[in-house]
Amino acid sequence: QKSVAAVPSPADEGREEFRRGSAVDALTRAILDHLYFTQARPLTLATRNDWYMALAYAVRDRMLDDWLKSLSHLRNRELKIVSYLSAEFLMGPHLGNNLVNLGIMEPAREALAALGQDLDELLRQEEEPGLGNGGLGRLAACYLDSLATLRVPAIGYGIRYEFGIFDQEIRDGWQAEKTDKWLRLGNPWEICRPEITYEVKVGGHTERFTDEKGCVRVRWVPNKVVKGVAYDTPVAGYRSGVTDLLRLWKSEAVESFDFQAFNVGDYYRAVEAKIFSETISKVLYPNDEPEIGKALRLGQQYFFVSCSLQDMVRIHLLRENSLDTFAASFAVQLNDTHPSIAVAELMRLLVDEHQFEWDAAWQITRATLAYTNHTLLPEALEKWPLPLFASILPRHLEIIYEINRRFLDEVRLVHQGDDQLAARLSIIDENGERYVRMAHLASVGSHAINGVAALHTELLKQTVLKDFYEIHPELFRNVTNGVTPRRWMVLSNPGLTRLITERIGDGWVTNPDELRGLEPFVADQTFQSAWQKVKRENKSVLAGVIKARTGIVVDPASLFDVLVKRIHEYKRQHLKVLHIITLYNRIKHDPQADVTPRTFIFGGKAAPGYFMAKLIIKLVNSMGEVVNSDPDVADRLKVVFFPDFNVTNGQMVYPAADLSEQISTAGKEASGTGNMKFSLNGALTIGTLDGANVEIREEVGAENFFLFGLTAAEVSDLKSGGYDPRKWYGEKTELREAIDQIAGGLFSHGDRGLFQPLVEHLLNRDDYLLLADYQAYIDCQDRVSAAFRDRKRWTEMSILNVARMGKFSSDRAIREYCSDIWQASPLPQD
Ligand code: CR1
């Protein structure tokens, strides 16, 4: 029987601060009330999920005052609203973050303890909303946290996927995908708004007609209409008094359409229409970077963009009676090209639905929209075949043609006779099969274009958007990514948070430049041992989880060498494999060899259709089996593939890492954000000069960063000079041995076929230059091994990494977006 000793007395219950407050007794009452009135459960029958739900509702209630205040600001014409359009929001579990941001972790823990419940168990009960693939979706979530913390009015708009990113299981070393049924047990954080709905047209054709003023206008006659319904989730700032809004759209059938347009009584067709409608928000596409021309994907993009823009128009018209000033109400950020159909949709809304003249509409559109590019990989640059595009969005294609015609006219006026330039800039790719290039649409329709790290922005200007940069350099800026220290430190690393706060106070949580205050303590003995103790405890916790999930026993005293991120050839998980095999061989050749004991932890999902990535997962596991069970190794090397890497698991992994692997081929990783989370938690980085690694190294100091490998310029020179991986294979003995072993079946029970595609690719193409970077990587890892043995020096480096990570707070990034791109300001303190 649970103890209910802490149930407050009836005398308290009428008081307002009691109902809304966060004192222990008020929380206790609120949890019990939700258990009874919302979950309809007597104490004796309450499951862990019932307790979780009751607690979550009690916490959500405590967000409402600020939230409703923020929602009322939406009507204040003086306040510009940031509208972050993103096909992905990888929010991570809400409960812990909300407890941190509201500052009620401890009272909640006490209230539950009095009820015989353990807060940590309930935190583990939450199934995270995996509405994103990786960095891009997680960045959107960090940015919402910072917007609310900085008191900037903001709405994140996206899709309420019924199934998010698949759950990953490892079976026989291979990845197996399982449907992510995250809504199965209910979602206490969202509030459905059945009254906020919009219709979205699909397909059909367009017609010209003359309106009552004698103007020729266009009408879009769709062959389908679906309805988007708003689901709202509050996003609390860190003790800022502001709670922003995440509004996700679920697609549903429009009943009037189904039942009237079809033959009366044609029930099955009506049901079919319903199925089509509900399919749109059914599932997240699990591709991290490469794009595929799938009609449903374009349908999803248009669906959420159209609902969101219609919603903004409605909100604006609550403030003003004309759309002329729309750009003063909203700053709309396009998170990559996924929402770039917004350029054509906003034009359509203004011109077709609100009778604007083209030029005026265009001016509003460009003043409102801005575009962030997140990748240079050619296979990730979205383009849609014209026939497919026309069949789904016939009116938008016309609008895009008109935008393009006017844009190219301007180009030709300035660069007379340069037809090549016009062809390269065109929104329509005319080479071979014709396509709509979404990055061009986004660039033409935006008043600002930014990359996500200094190097990435430079490369963007030199390669993918070179021509745009040459004609309009003033549109380009860099905003280096950032991560929120609330989730990625305060919540996930309470031990380090406590230690730091004891020394320098807690100002760093919102002003992480204050972490510099740790520098005077780097050499302090007591501080160093406290620092080591925290890391050691985090490693022990992770070791326990690894044991439970994989059965593998790892030693928390060994160097935790971690590579977690999506599996992709450019991220080079297989370079890490070559390193491990090299160490293994050194031990095999000399069982007494002096190797620094290491635990290699891999984690990450592969796109289900990405064969090579899935083969890499299999290789990690197969190689791990051999290494882990070899008596000669004697536990000095342990290889772990941690299944189902997601936000929840990340929160355990980053704080436990000693070494952060950021080993992408230079020029390929736009920024990375995992690199920041590791460093913030005191891991040292081994990395190439890629993405934000460059800036991390600048900040923490070259002497506190393990750099190796070719630079982006060297990579491109090497490639244009005709790269031959076999040359490296021929020259490097350890490399050759490792590759031969993979090919020869050492890790596949003698099966020479299994890893052949991977070996063939490395020897014949090696697009990502593993062989060229191999030796530099191995040598650098040898320096890491030596450095780890000098515990004092290593600890100093670790402290300095944390002390100098201030720049990589998402608060800094959001301030830059606010001032350089959005012209948005914080709400005044009330
Ligand atoms: C990039 O690959 C970056 C994130 C967030 C990813 C990664 O380096 O940190 O975006 N790009 O900016 C991406 O997902 C579709 O492109």
Find out whether the beta carbon of 151 lies less than 6 Å from any atom of ligand 1. no
Identify each DSSP E strand in 573-648 by its residue range.
598-603, 637-642
The answer to whether position 734 is within a domain reads no
Residue 806's pLDDT is 98
Residue 91 has pLDDT above 50, yes or no: yes
Find out whether the beta carbon of 375 lies less than 6 Å from any atom of ligand 1. yes
User: Active-site residue 566, yes or no?
Assistant: yes
Residue 270's pLDDT is 73
Strand 383-385 vs strand 330-335: parallel, antiparallel, or unpaired? unpaired
- What integer is the mean pLDDT of 67-83? 93
Residue 183 has pLDDT above 50, yes or no: yes
Find out whether the beta carbon of 452 lies less than 6 Å from any atom of ligand 1. yes
Residue 268's pLDDT is 74
Q: Are residues 36 and 83 in the same domain?
A: no
User: Active-site residue 510, yes or no?
Assistant: no
Residue 347 has pLDDT above 50, yes or no: yes
Q: Are residues 37 and 89 in the same domain?
A: no
The answer to whether position 457 is within a domain reads no
- What integer is the mean pLDDT of 476-496? 98
User: Active-site residue 571, yes or no?
Assistant: yes
Give 421-452 pLDDT, tens digit per residue.
999 999 999 988 999 999 999 999 999 999 99
Strand 435-437 vs strand 428-429: parallel, antiparallel, or unpaired? antiparallel
Q: Are residues 41 and 142 in the same domain?
A: no
Give 29-43 pLDDT, tens digit per residue.
999 999 999 999 999
217 pLDDT band (50/70/90 cuts)?
very high
The answer to whether position 743 is within a domain reads no
- What integer is the mean pLDDT of 743-747? 98
Residue 292's pLDDT is 64
In testing the pocket of ligand 1, which one of 375, 566, 810 has its CB within 8 Å of the most ligand atoms?
Answer: 375
Contacts of 543 (CB under 8 A, 6+ apart): 553, 554, 555, 556
Distance, in Å, from the CA atom of 607 to the CA atom of 602, rounded to the nearest integer, reads: 16
The answer to whether position 713 is within a domain reads yes
Q: Are residues 119 and 153 in the same domain?
A: no
Find out whether the beta carbon of 291 lies less than 6 Å from any atom of ligand 1. no
Q: How far is the CA of 671 from the centre of ligand 1 (A)?
A: 7
Supply 797's token pair.
């480096």
- What integer is the mean pLDDT of 668-680? 98
In testing the pocket of ligand 1, which one of 459, 569, 671, 688 has its CB within 8 Å of the most ligand atoms?
Answer: 671
φ and ψ at residue 90, rounded to 5 degrees: -100, 80
Nearest CA to 499 out of 191, 830, 802 is that of 802
* CB-CB contact of 637 with 581 (8 Å): no
Which atom of ligand 1 lies closest to the CA of 289? 15
Q: Are residues 687 and 646 in the same domain?
A: yes
Identify each DSSP E strand in 481-621 by its residue range.
559-564, 598-603
Distance, in Å, from the CA atom of 193 to the CA atom of 210, rounded to the nearest integer, reads: 37
Q: Which residues pair with 176 in a beta bridge?
A: 169
Residue bearing the CA closest to ligand 1, atom 9: 672
Looking at the chain, the whole-number percentage of residues with pLDDT higher than 70 is 96
Find out whether the beta carbon of 671 lies less than 6 Å from any atom of ligand 1. yes
Q: Are residues 687 and 715 in the same domain?
A: yes
Nearest CA to 575 out of 561, 589, 586, 587 is that of 561
Q: Are residues 332 and 272 in the same domain?
A: yes
Q: Are residues 539 and 612 in the same domain?
A: yes
Looking at the chain, the whole-number percentage of residues with pLDDT higher than 90 is 92
Distance, in Å, from the CA atom of 153 to the CA atom of 83, rounded to the nearest integer, reads: 9
165 pLDDT band (50/70/90 cuts)?
very high
Distance, in Å, from the CA atom of 695 to the CA atom of 424, rounded to the nearest integer, reads: 32
User: Active-site residue 316, yes or no?
Assistant: no
* CB-CB contact of 254 with 277 (8 Å): yes
Q: Are residues 173 and 136 in the same domain?
A: yes
Residue with tokens 């890893």: 755
Q: How many domains does the chain have?
A: 3
267 pLDDT band (50/70/90 cuts)?
confident
Q: How far is the CA of 606 from the centre of ligand 1 (A)?
A: 15
Give 114-157 pLDDT, tens digit per residue.
999 999 999 999 999 999 999 999 999 999 999 999 999 999 99
Which atom of ligand 1 lies closest to the CA of 669? 8
In testing the pocket of ligand 1, which one of 374, 381, 383, 665 has its CB within 8 Å of the most ligand atoms?
Answer: 374
Give 691-724 pLDDT, tens digit per residue.
999 999 999 999 999 999 999 999 999 999 999 9
Give 774-791 pLDDT, tens digit per residue.
999 999 999 999 999 999
269 pLDDT band (50/70/90 cuts)?
confident
262 pLDDT band (50/70/90 cuts)?
low
Of the candidates 60, 447, 571, 638, the residue annotated as catalytic is 571
Planar angle of CA 258, 260, 261, nearest 5 degrees: 70
The answer to whether position 429 is within a domain reads yes
CA 400 from centre of chain: 29
CA 309 from centre of chain: 23
User: Active-site residue 412, yes or no?
Assistant: no
Residue 3's pLDDT is 46
Q: How far is the CA of 677 from the centre of ligand 1 (A)?
A: 15
**What does the DSSP 8-state code read for residue 346?**
H
Residue 1's pLDDT is 39
User: Active-site residue 574, yes or no?
Assistant: no
Work out the end-to-end distance of the chain between its first and last CA atoms, rounded to an integer number of angstroms. 46
Q: How far is the CA of 407 from the centre of ligand 1 (A)?
A: 29
Nearest CA to 80 out of 812, 830, 816, 821 is that of 821
Among 6-15, 300-309, 325-334, 515-524, whose mean pLDDT is lowest?
Answer: 6-15
Residue bearing the CA closest to ligand 1, atom 7: 672
Find out whether the beta carbon of 670 lies less than 6 Å from any atom of ligand 1. yes
- What integer is the mean pLDDT of 483-493? 98
Find out whether the beta carbon of 35 lies less than 6 Å from any atom of ligand 1. no
Residue 263's pLDDT is 59
Of the candidates 201, 535, 565, 614, the residue annotated as catalytic is 565
Q: Are residues 169 and 276 in the same domain?
A: yes
Q: Does an H or E element contain 82, and which? A: strand 81-85
Distance, in Å, from the CA atom of 780 to the CA atom of 659, rounded to the nearest integer, reads: 12
Q: Which residues pair with 174 in a beta bridge?
A: 171
Of the candidates 41, 109, 437, 566, the residue annotated as catalytic is 566
Query: How many CA atoms lie within 13 Å of 814's alpha carbon, on the beta-carbon side?
Result: 28
Residue 521 has pLDDT above 70, yes or no: yes
Nearest CA to 141 out of 189, 177, 180, 94 is that of 94
> Of 447, 468, 499, which one is at a domain's C-terminal end?
447
Q: How far is the CA of 96 from the centre of ligand 1 (A)?
A: 26
For residue 504, the domain's CATH number is 3.40.50.2000
Mean pLDDT of the residues in the chain = 95
ipTM, 2 decimals?
A: 0.99
Q: Are residues 115 and 145 in the same domain?
A: no
The amino acid sitting at 92 is G
Q: How far is the CA of 313 from the centre of ligand 1 (A)?
A: 30
Give 611-647 pLDDT, tens digit per residue.
999 999 999 999 999 999 999 999 999 999 999 999 9
Q: How far is the CA of 571 from the centre of ligand 1 (A)?
A: 12
Residue 795's pLDDT is 98
460 pLDDT band (50/70/90 cuts)?
very high
Q: Are residues 421 and 401 in the same domain?
A: yes
- What integer is the mean pLDDT of 251-269? 69
The answer to whether position 757 is within a domain reads no
The answer to whether position 820 is within a domain reads no
Q: Which residues pair with 85 in a beta bridge?
A: 157, 334
φ and ψ at residue 501, rounded to 5 degrees: -65, -35
Q: How far is the CA of 480 from the centre of ligand 1 (A)?
A: 12
The answer to whether position 561 is within a domain reads yes
- What integer is the mean pLDDT of 8-26? 75
488 vs 12: which has the higher pLDDT: 488
Residue 380 has pLDDT above 90, yes or no: no
Find out whether the beta carbon of 690 lies less than 6 Å from any atom of ligand 1. no
Q: How far is the CA of 295 from the centre of ligand 1 (A)?
A: 23
What length is written for the chain?
830
Q: How far is CA 147 from CA 89, 158, 818, in A?
A: 14, 16, 9
- What integer is the mean pLDDT of 568-591? 98
- State which residues form the domain around 694: 485-721+770-814
